[in-house]
């Protein structure tokens, strides 16, 4: 486990096309556009599905998990939407399977150098409109063979109340014609192994496995993506086949037609027939002016919370902090800010500092400067939108991993930590509280995570005990400014 002394903490296509991608494409874990990648010269790139505002999805929960252990770095996320529990269960099972494999093969064994280790699973809404929900999960496993980049799409039909596979977008009686069209467009392409195509779509089970990423473009074309090495030599990269609307529409199932329609012309709301949609409670605490604590004279501690915001954990945490007039710094993940801007706004209003923790929690040192900038800039933009103009000045690199490339890609100031509660590992409120109370010293920066209920539950004891010892809880920027 890393330890960080005080000093670094404080200074720190609607034409038919086939697109071959040789590198991960900026909202995925590597920082590039999810699942599209770099188009070959001369190829047309179709518009992806329309932009979905996750904050408009009532009762949305983002299920997050992460590690700060340098020998086992992982970050996973997937959405839970009221009414779509069957789809959520399928995503949960897949994420947990991949995480278990990663831990067993990488964290508990010798799977190469630490530099090759990292699992990142991020999510993207394809459509959330009417009675249709579509989500893509993008997985980057740096310990896997080839690029380790893979994508899967998950669909939910609110009309029938059932989870739908990507292939369910196509009517059963039209699947042979659909597959033949895919094979025709792939056959003869550079790097494609024609002999393997028949086997790839040989039977229903093989088809379902191969057709794991299907979605619609804003023009209504059907986009079918294949991971690197699935239909051709790994060196050729990933392939995307886009069938134009006029070609594919006659083949679509009833659900596929509704999914296409809701992508092209979405309704104003999503209704999956949920029997109960939680009404989130957002705190309304307002800070009574600027913090005038002089940390040269007073005993100060900067509590920091990574990976949120999360509902209801961040909401509960803000209530606890308000009781003790304590301030803290939240290093937020962009995809969660997009889902819960109301929580970020509430935290800012309550006098908390909002920092940047990347958009999807990748190890930034494995990215190009452009990818680093995309991860951080997208998150800063989401924070600024949520707080109506407050631009973050601080960022915490995921896993504390930082190098010259990362530093050179942003003007944000890095922040590490002095006390690591390891609350991601020990889901024990008492242990988390004792760690902070026993280890934190004057002017320390404390690392915690507001995505864990146990960590939030530890806060009242921490605040009560350390307040009694004369400590003041301030933001990182306030601590820096007054020392």
Structural domain includes residue 362 = yes
Q: Are residues 236 and 354 in the same domain?
A: no
Contact 93, 76 (CB under 8 A): no
Please state, as a whole number, how many other Cβ atoms lie within 10 Å of the Cβ of residue 42. Answer: 6
Q: Are residues 388 and 239 in the same domain?
A: no
Structural domain includes residue 66 = yes
Q: Are residues 104 and 195 in the same domain?
A: yes
Structural domain includes residue 56 = yes
Among 264, 287, 308, identify where a domain stops.
264
Please state, as a whole number, how many other Cβ atoms lie within 10 Å of the Cβ of residue 5. Answer: 10
Q: Are residues 322 and 219 in the same domain?
A: no
Among 237, 264, 291, identify where a domain stops.
264
**Cα dihedral 264/268/269/270 (nearest 10):** -10
Active site residue 306: yes
Contact 166, 213 (CB under 8 A): yes
The pLDDT value recorded for residue 27 is 40
Buried b / exposed e along 127-149 (16+ C-beta atoms within 10 A)? bbbbbbbbbbbbbbbbbbeebbb
Q: Are residues 187 and 330 in the same domain?
A: no
Contacts of 184 (CB under 8 A, 6+ apart): none
- Residue 214's φ and ψ, nearest 5 degrees, are -135, 135
CATH number at residue 306: 3.20.20.370
**Of the residues 38, 141, 306, 418, which is catalytic?**
306
| Cis, peptide link before residue 312, omega less than 30° from 0 | yes
Element (H, E) at 136: strand 132-141
Structural domain includes residue 170 = yes
The pLDDT value recorded for residue 153 is 98
Active site residue 449: yes
Report DSSP state, residue 130.
Answer: B
Q: How would you classify the pairing of strands 74-80 and 299-306?
A: unpaired
Q: Are residues 201 and 322 in the same domain?
A: no
Between CA 49 and CA 262 the distance in angstroms is 10
Q: Are residues 314 and 260 in the same domain?
A: no
Number of domains within the chain: 2
- Side-chain-facing half-sphere of 420: CA atoms under 13 Å: 17
CATH number at residue 231: 3.30.565.40
Mean pLDDT for back-to-back runs of 10 residues, the chain (483 residues): 40 38 38 33 38 94 92 94 97 96 77 70 97 97 77 97 98 96 90 82 89 97 94 83 97 98 96 89 88 96 98 97 97 98 97 98 96 98 96 97 97 97 95 98 98 98 98 98 93
**Which residue reads 């408009």 in tokens?**
56
Q: Are residues 41 and 175 in the same domain?
A: yes
Structural domain includes residue 7 = no
Q: Which two tokens stand for residue 5?
A: 């002394």
- Closest by CA to 254, choosing from 173, 179, 168, is 168
Structural domain includes residue 25 = yes
Report DSSP state, residue 50.
Answer: P
Q: Are residues 230 and 320 in the same domain?
A: no
Contact 170, 251 (CB under 8 A): yes
Q: Which two tokens stand for residue 469?
A: 């010892």
Report DSSP state, residue 39.
Answer: P
Cα first-last separation, the chain:
28
Burial class (CB in 10 A: 0-12, 13-18, 19+), 8: middle
Structural domain includes residue 285 = no
Q: Are residues 139 and 21 in the same domain?
A: yes
Q: Are residues 257 and 303 in the same domain?
A: no
Contact 80, 61 (CB under 8 A): yes
Structural domain includes residue 291 = no
**Of the residues 123, 361, 449, 478, which is catalytic?**
449
Q: Are residues 362 and 214 in the same domain?
A: no
Q: What residues make up the domain containing 385? A: 299-481
């Amino acid at each position: 486990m890393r330890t960080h002394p005080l000093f670094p903490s404080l200074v720190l296509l609607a034409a038919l096309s086939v697109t071959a991608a040789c590198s991960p494409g900026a909202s995925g874990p590597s920082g590039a556009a999810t699942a599209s990648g770099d188009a070959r010269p001369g190829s047309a790139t179709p518009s992806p599905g329309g932009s979905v505002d996750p904050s408009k999805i009532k009762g949305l929960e983002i299920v997050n998990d992460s590690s700060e252990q340098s020998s086992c770095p992982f970050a996973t996320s997937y959405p839970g939407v009221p009414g779509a529990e069957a789809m959520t269960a399928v995503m949960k099972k897949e994420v947990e399977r991949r995480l278990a494999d990663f831990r067993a093969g990488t964290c508990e064994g010798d799977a190469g150098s630490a530099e090759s280790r990292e699992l990142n699973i991020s999510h993207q809404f394809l459509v959330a409109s009417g009675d249709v929900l579509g989500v893509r999960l993008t997985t980057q496993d740096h310990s896997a063979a080839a690029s380790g980049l893979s994508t899967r799409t998950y669909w939910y039909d609110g009309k029938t109340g059932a989870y739908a596979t990507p292939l369910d977008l196509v009517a059963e009686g039209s699947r042979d014609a659909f597959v033949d069209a895919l094979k025709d467009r792939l056959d003869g392409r550079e790097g494609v192994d024609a002999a393997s195509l028949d086997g790839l779509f040989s039977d229903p089970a093989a088809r379902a496995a191969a057709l794991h990423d299907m979605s619609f473009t804003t023009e209504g074309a059907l986009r079918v993506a294949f991971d690197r090495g699935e239909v051709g030599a790994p060196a050729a990269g990933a392939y995307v086949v886009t069938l134009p609307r006029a070609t594919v529409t006659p083949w679509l199932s009833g659900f596929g037609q509704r999914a296409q329609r809701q992508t092209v012309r979405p309704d104003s709301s999503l209704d999956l027939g949920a029997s109960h949609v939680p009404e989130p409670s957002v705190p309304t605490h307002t800070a009574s002016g600027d913090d005038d604590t002089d940390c040269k004279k007073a005993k100060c501690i900067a509590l920091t919370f990574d990976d949120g915001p999360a509902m209801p954990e961040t909401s509960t945490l803000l209530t606890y902090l308000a009781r003790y007039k304590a301030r803290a710094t939240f290093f937020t993940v962009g995809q969660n800010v997009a889902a819960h801007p109301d929580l970020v706004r509430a935290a800012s209003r309550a006098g908390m500092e909002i920092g940047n923790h990347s958009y999807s929690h990748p190890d930034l040192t494995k990215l190009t400067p452009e990818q680093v900038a995309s991860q951080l800039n997208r998150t800063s933009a989401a924070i600024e939108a949520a707080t109506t103009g407050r631009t973050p000045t601080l960022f915490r690199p995921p896993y504390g991993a930082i190098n010259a490339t990362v530093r050179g890609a942003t003007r944000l100031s890095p922040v590490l930590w002095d006390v690591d509660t390891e609350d991601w590992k020990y889901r024990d409120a008492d242990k988390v509280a004792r760690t902070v109370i026993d280890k934190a010293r004057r002017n320390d920066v404390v690392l915690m995570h507001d995505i864990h209920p146990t960590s939030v539950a530890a806060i009242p004891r921490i605040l009560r005990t350390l307040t009694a010892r004369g400590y003041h809880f301030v933001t990182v920027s306030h601590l820096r400014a007054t020392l």
